[in-house]
């Protein structure tokens, strides 16, 4: 097999999951060979699944996987059985690279050192990403390892969007709006190709969610900020919050940094409104029975997305296309309808609203193949 056809392994880690794909170049694009995921890492209901390109299940195991590194070891052992050639490259989705890593690139010792120094920008994401990269480098020691950053797509934002209303010294230190879900948005731009209109709003809605204004194929503003905590209401994250609330909690409740971080990232958002439930499907079922906290959670979520869409319509002078993606965006017609209810004045007829599945692993493989050339 020629180098241009050799397989590429992509790793896409979440807080309790590890998704992967194996791709080979077909000439026009990357072709999926295998895919799968380890779900429920650290829980007793965890699962591991591997599928062939046609969707046939090759591996299904009910297993407790204590960590992402253990999940990776289990995945690697399974791949030996079904992948007839070692991957030439391993592409890693990195949520946040800090101010100095804003482009997809080969992972070198210097890149790892820079990531280590950027931990304070994303303490929930970077340490686990670094651990997974180093583990993968040991397992796939002959492969080129490549970092693909979720923030890279948003580096085209103008200063008026990227710089926060703080003294400029902080901006120089890297305190700015970075934006996230960039690989998902990149995959949509690639998928739509010449059919991408000038003024597009994209909404990646899952347990984490964001909305992005895309003008002529470039990100010009996005709802998430310095971290993935800001923006719209999310499963367990607050989204945008008056900073005075945090000052109140520090002074009145004497909460420290760790307690505040846990509050705004793990027990707020939909879970905060509904007394603990963050799954949109469960909330919609409860809403249908008249459950008031669930109704409030669903309505607050949809309203926050709708307001952001409206803001980006004002930014771009209108919307030519609204794209939904992510788990909720792709699969919940009820949520999409509730979000769009009231946006008719923007001319958002059904033919200007579409669903495009997120293809982050495929987009990582594309970047890896390009970097290898």
- Single out the residue of 98, 102, 94, 163 nearest to residue 131, CA to CA: 94
CA distance 181 to 25: 24
Residue 149: its H or E element: strand 144-149
Return the H-helix or E-strand segment holding 116: helix 109-117
Residue-wise over 212-245: b if at least 16 C-beta within 10 A, else e? Answer: bbbbeeebbbbbbbbbbbbbbbbbbbbbeeeeee
| Burial of 311: CB neighbours in 10 Å, binned 0-12, 13-18, 19+ | middle
Which of 38, 144, 14 is closest to 87 using CA atoms?
Answer: 144
Looking at the annotation, which residues are catalytic?
A: 150
Q: If you compute the radius of gyration of the chain from its CA atoms, what whole number of angstroms results?
A: 21
């Amino acid at each position: 097999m020629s180098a241009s056809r050799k397989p590429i392994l992509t790793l896409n880690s979440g807080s309790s999951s590890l998704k992967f794909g194996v791709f080979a170049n077909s000439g026009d694009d990357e072709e999926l060979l295998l895919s799968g995921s380890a779900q429920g890492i650290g829980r007793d209901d965890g699962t591991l699944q591997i599928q062939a390109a046609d969707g046939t299940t090759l591996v299904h195991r009910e297993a407790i996987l204590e960590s992402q590194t253990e999940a990776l070891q289990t995945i690697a052992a399974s791949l030996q059985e079904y992948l007839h050639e070692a991957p030439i490259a391993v592409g890693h989705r990195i949520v946040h690279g800090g101010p100095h890593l804003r482009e997809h690139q080969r992972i070198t010792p210097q890149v790892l050192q820079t990531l280590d120094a950027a931990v304070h920008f994303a303490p929930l994401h970077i340490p686990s990403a670094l651990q997974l990269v180093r583990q993968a480098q040991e397992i796939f020691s002959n492969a080129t390892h490549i970092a693909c950053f979720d923030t890279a797509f948003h580096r085209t934002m103008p200063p008026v969007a990227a710089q926060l209303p703080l003294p400029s010294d902080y901006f120089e230190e890297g305190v700015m709006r970075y934006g996230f879900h960039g690989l998902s948005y990149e995959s949509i731009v690639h998928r739509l190709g010449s059919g991408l209109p000038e003024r597009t709003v994209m909404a990646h809605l899952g347990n984490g969610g964001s909305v992005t204004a895309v003008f002529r194929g470039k990100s010009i503003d996005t709802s998430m900020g310095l971290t993935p905590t800001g923006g719209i209401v999310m499963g367990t994250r607050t989204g945008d919050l008056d900073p005075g609330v945090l000052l109140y909690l520090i002074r009145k409740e004497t909460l420290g940094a760790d307690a505040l971080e846990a509050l705004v990232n793990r027990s707020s958002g939909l879970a905060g409104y509904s007394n603990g439930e963050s799954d949109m499907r469960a909330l919609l079922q409860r809403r249908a029975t008249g459950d008031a906290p669930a109704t409030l959670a669903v309505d607050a979520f949809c309203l926050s997305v709708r307001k952001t869409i409206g803001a980006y319509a004002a930014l771009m002078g209108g919307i030519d296309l609204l794209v939904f993606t992510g788990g909720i965006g792709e699969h919940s017609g009820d949520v999409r309808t509730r979000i769009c209810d009231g946006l008719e004045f923007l001319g958002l007829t059904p033919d200007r609203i579409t669903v495009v599945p997120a293809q982050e692993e495929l987009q990582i493989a594309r970047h890896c193949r390009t970097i290898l050339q």
